Amino acid sequence: METLLKTMQTRQSARVLYDPKKKIPKKDLEKILEAGRWAPTAHNMQNYEIIIVDDKKILEVIANIKNPISLTFIRENYNQLSFSKEELKEKGTGVLGTMFPPAWRKPDIKAEDITKDDHNDFMGKEIRSSSALAVVLYDSTKRAPASENDFLGAISLGCLMENMWLMASSLGIGFQILSALSEGNIEKQLRKILNIPKNMKIAYSFRLGYPVISEKYLRVRRPVKRFAHMNGYVKK
């Protein structure tokens, strides 16, 4: 039990480059997928399919997809930033602003403030360095029973993600979510590359591999007493 809790506490998003020459052993990849297989899903629908890409030629094609950063993302992301470790510890939520390019740390950012190196080029390098890229799909024609906007289905996809992430962390394998691959023109191109059927939507993608540098950044959480309410909600 303590080992499981420790894995949860030390899990992190490995946003650095990985060693492209180091392949993930088949048995470890199978463990990650097996962990996903046992994730709880609404009504046990298991409404997902997972495409694993480890072919370097295909990874190169995906890495070359043009990926302009969303101004909406940057502006909304700004609200989650802290600009010192002390501020971040006090809030107990969000991330350090230093994790992002300087231009992303301005609340009034404009399109001309962003260079292509801010996101597109680095994301391409991340994908090329990966041992594998996983693309998680779900059938958009289905939904969990009586679940408006398939809210329970979305929760299920999150459970799938968490199970695989914790297993990867326990095996010393880097894991990073790439949400941009499920957006707009990027998704259209990825669908063609991977021959994804029309009814299947991309929920999220994640990269796997072995980080070339050890990145330990400050992770915070609110203490239990700040979010747990006994026998009724109490404003805190």
Beta strands in the chain (DSSP E): 49-53, 81-82, 95-96, 132-139, 174-177, 200-209
Strand partners, 95: 81
pLDDT of residue 42: 96
pLDDT of residue 115: 66
Q: Can you give the residue ranges of every domain in the chain? A: 18-68+119-213, 69-116
pTM: 0.92
- Residue-wise pLDDT tens digits, 34-85: 999 999 999 999 999 999 999 999 999 999 998 777 788 888 999 999 999 9
Question: Using CA atoms, how far apart are residues 102 and 100, in angstroms rounded to an integer?
Answer: 6
Report the amino acid identity of residue 185.
N
- Counting beta carbons within 10 angstroms of the beta carbon of residue 55, is it exposed (0 to 12), middle (13 to 18) or buried (19 or more)? exposed
Task: Give the DSSP letter string of 15-37.
Answer: -S-B-TT-PPPHHHHHHHHHHHH
Does the 18-68+119-213 domain belong in CATH 3.40.109.10? yes
Q: Are strands 95-96 and 81-82 parallel, antiparallel or unpaired?
A: parallel
